[in-house]
């Protein structure tokens, strides 16, 4: 059976969201650096021999799991068909929460959305729409997120304060639904009409996706 | 957030009553209603200051039932008691019992949830997301996003969403009486001979119904008409009909649960 | 050699940032849903047999990679933000009632617990485990509560239906007997005077359980 150290490397690399420096692995496992490199090399060869769909790669000074290059076609489909459609409803809601409630912690966003938002926040961060803007002074010192200048630029806003004000009351789902429809089909009565041509017909905006992500 | 595990702090009247009754478990037959009532009232007295009205009312209601039960027990005979009054008291008691069992059921369910949470907490999910080489493929997420759409998304995120209803059970309370359940079991069990409790409550998705069914089984056991076997905690419970009742006290009737 | 489809699943899950619904995998692989579930089950068994440091889990309606539970000690040291604090008994019991009875109103939860649950429900909502899921159609339009996908992730469940059946927790005959006996009005067999000095151990704290959580 696989030795504990090799299994620990697999576990840590699995939850890491970026390349893990071998020094850090050595520290976690209390092993010499050379032993870590040996372990990783053995794992890499193992995955290759058993023809896994992923590889253990050495990137940017660290180790990480990534998809096997010869399966790129599937990953691309996932990005284009699944991921993008799925992401945009989930990402848009997450982005909206960050925009209106900034600075806001990951836990606060998760509590509003009722789902784990780690992945989505990471995506938004990697796209440059959202960034860490500070730390909660309270215990735990949670990272606080806010929107970036790129976000403002993309939305054609001068500053965050220019976001449309939220209604004083929280409308029921039917109202939101109507609002959504209105935005899709055209300006609803009483809503500020979007500029012509700006009326989005978002291909990817489905309210069913709200729960996943 | 202060998450303390509050063992000796009673969360409510059920908690307290469950504690008072079940701590005597070691010596089941020595449980004294008097002791329970006294302890209950004494604790209530101590809690008095810190209670909100709602909780205090619940405590008092239960105390009233307990006191009445105690008074009744002190009476030598029952002949001098109005039948209707008597029945009402049994009903109160059955209801209290059913609510206690329901509270206990969820208490035990929450203990299993803790185990699930602990187990799940030992695994950490992969959230790595896309590798850079695919980044170019991701359509610009903000393509076509207007401030209005962002506002709508915020409202959507903060508005209760009707989730697919989990049809575990429904809310309308079904008040089957214990007597009815006893009658039904006395009719069904002789044909089955032996059945798991699970089979006997198959199709009942209201806890109270299950509890009532359980009380009925217990009643049959008490009358010596049935036997209950359980190999271990959480093991399947089996109910066996006794063709020759252990005690023979005449026709099947529900004296304790009348009503 | 591993079949292409299994490898594709591995590749896609490796780049996902949350549980991937089997429907999406089926779409990407152009396979029936049942075949996807079979593939994933085979992968799961394979990882288990080869004693990997990660597992393929089905959580909150999708498949995802996660670290093996027995390597928690290593991963905990690696993961930055600490695990959330433990929940109080009051919070857990309330959560259990919401989970099993959803959609359920605050009043219904309170009646089962016999105490005011406003504070506890608020805490559970703010942590994202419970959310408003609608309104009672009846008079009063009471807010109804239900559990969230985050709750499922927290418990490592695929769906609410995977909770152990409530019937499993109906107290055993010994407890029922004890309660029943404790509340018996007739003179019990061997009725004796209560032992002197049998005063209860008073709780060492004020009743603030109702409000915390």
pLDDT at A177: 52
Using 50, 70 and 90 to split pLDDT, how confident is the model at B83? low
pLDDT, tens digit (0-9, with 9 covering 90-100), for C68-86: 999 998 998 887 654 556 7
Say if CB C160 and CB B166 are below 8 A apart: yes
Strand segments, DSSP code E, in chain A are 54-59, 62-67, 104-105, 130-135, 143-147
Say if CB B116 and CB C157 are below 8 A apart: yes
Of A110, A63, A125, A66, give the one whose Cα is nearest residue C13: A66
Cβ pair B11:C179 closer than 8 A = no
Written as six digits, the tokens of A155 are: 């939305």
The predicted model gives B74-90 an average pLDDT of 63
pLDDT at A203: 39
Answer whether residue C208 shows pLDDT above 60: no
A50 CB neighbours in chain C (<8 A) are 2, 50
Q: Cα–Cα distances in Å, from A21 out to A55, A125, A177, C54?
A: 17, 21, 48, 19
Question: Can you tell me whether residue A40 is helix, strand or coil?
Answer: helix
pLDDT, tens digit (0-9, with 9 covering 90-100), for B60-80: 777 777 777 766 656 555 555
* Pick from B140, B146, B162: CB nearest A194: B146
Euclidean distance between the first and final Cα of chain A, in Å?
35
* Count helices and strands in chain C by DSSP H and E runs: 9, 5
Q: Within an 8 Å CB–CB cutoff, is residue A75 touching chain C?
A: yes
Answer whether residue A198 shows pLDDT above 50: no
Of A146, A112, A107, give the one whose Cα is nearest residue A130: A146
Written as six digits, the tokens of B198 are: 């699970």
Q: How far apart are CA C64 and CA C111, in angstroms?
A: 39
Top pLDDT among A130 and A195 is at: A130
Cβ pair B9:C104 closer than 8 A = no
Say if CB B161 and CB C147 are below 8 A apart: no
Q: Cα–Cα distances in Å, from A3 out to A7, A37, B205, C165?
A: 6, 15, 48, 38
Cβ pair B137:A80 closer than 8 A = yes
Query: Which of A184-198, C19-33, C105-119 comes out lowest in average pLDDT?
Result: A184-198
For the whole model, what pTM was predicted?
A: 0.63
Q: Within an 8 Å CB–CB cutoff, is residue B134 touching chain A?
A: yes
C138 CB neighbours in chain B (<8 A) are none
Dihedral in degrees, nearest 10, Cα atoms B208, B214, B219, B225: 150
Written as six digits, the tokens of C128 are: 């994202």
pLDDT, tens digit (0-9, with 9 covering 90-100), for C182-197: 666 554 444 444 444 4
pLDDT, tens digit (0-9, with 9 covering 90-100), for C145-175: 999 988 998 899 999 999 988 888 887 777 7
Cβ pair C149:A212 closer than 8 A = yes
Of B219, B17, B70, A78, give the one whose Cα is nearest residue C14: A78
Residue C20 forms beta bridges with which residues? C63
pLDDT, tens digit (0-9, with 9 covering 90-100), for A4-37: 999 999 999 999 888 999 999 999 999 999 999 9
Written as six digits, the tokens of A138 are: 């309270």
Q: Cα–Cα distances in Å, from A68 out to A28, B151, C44, C63, C65?
A: 27, 39, 19, 19, 16
User: Among all residues of chain C, which has the CA nearest to that of A18?
Assistant: C15
Answer whether residue C202 shows pLDDT above 60: no
Cβ pair B169:C83 closer than 8 A = no
């Amino acid at each position: 059976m696989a030795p504990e150290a090799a299994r620990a490397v697999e576990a840590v690399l699995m939850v890491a969201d970026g390349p893990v420096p071998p020094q850090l692995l050595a520290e976690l496992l209390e092993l010499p650096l050379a032993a870590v490199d040996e372990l990783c090399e053995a794992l890499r060869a193992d995955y290759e021999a058993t023809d896994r769909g992923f590889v253990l790669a050495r990137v940017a000074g660290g180790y990480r799991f990534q998809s096997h290059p010869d399966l790129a076609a599937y990953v691309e489909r996932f990005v284009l068909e699944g991921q993008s459609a799925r992401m945009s409803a989930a990402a848009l809601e997450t982005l909206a929460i960050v925009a209106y409630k900034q600075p806001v912690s990951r836990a606060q966003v998760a509590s509003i959305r009722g789902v784990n938002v780690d992945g989505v926040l990471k995506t938004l961060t990697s796209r440059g729409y959202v960034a860490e803007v500070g730390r909660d002074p309270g215990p735990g010192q949670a990272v606080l997120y806010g929107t970036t200048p790129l976000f403002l630029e993309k939305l054609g806003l001068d500053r965050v304060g220019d976001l449309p004000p939220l209604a004083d009351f929280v409308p029921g789902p039917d109202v939101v639904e109507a609002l959504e429809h209105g935005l899709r089909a055209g300006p609803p009565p009483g809503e500020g009409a979007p500029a012509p041509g700006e009326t989005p017909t978002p291909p990817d905006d489905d309210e069913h996706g709200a729960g996943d992500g | 957030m202060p998450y303390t595990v509050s063992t000796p702090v009673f969360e409510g009247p059920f908690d307290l009553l469950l504690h008072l009754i079940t701590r005597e478990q070691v010596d089941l037959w020595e449980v004294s209603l008097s002791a329970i009532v006294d302890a209950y009232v004494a604790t209530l007295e101590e809690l008095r200051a810190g209670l909100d009205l709602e909780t205090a009312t619940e405590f008092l209601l239960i105390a009233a039932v307990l006191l009445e039960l105690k008074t009744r027990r002190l009476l030598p005979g029952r002949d001098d008691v109005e039948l209707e009054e008597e029945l009402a008291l049994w009903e109160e008691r059955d209801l209290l019992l059913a609510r206690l069992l329901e509270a206990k059921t969820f208490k035990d369910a929450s203990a299993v949830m803790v185990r699930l949470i602990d187990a799940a907490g030992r695994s950490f999910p992969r959230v790595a997301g896309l590798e850079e080489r695919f980044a170019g493929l991701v359509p610009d997420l903000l393509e076509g996003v207007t401030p209005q759409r962002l506002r709508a998304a915020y409202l959507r995120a903060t508005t209760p969403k009707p989730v697919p209803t989990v049809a575990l059970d429904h809310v309308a309370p079904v008040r089957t009486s214990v007597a009815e359940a006893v009658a039904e079991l006395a009719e069904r069990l002789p044909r089955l001979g032996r059945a798991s409790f699970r089979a006997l409550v198959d199709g009942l998705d209201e806890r109270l119904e299950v509890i009532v069914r359980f009380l009925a089984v217990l009643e049959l056991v008490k009358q010596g008409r049935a036997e209950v076997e359980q190999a271990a905690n959480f093991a399947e419970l089996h109910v066996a009909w006794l063709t020759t009742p252990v005690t023979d006290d005449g026709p099947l009737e529900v004296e304790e649960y009348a009503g």
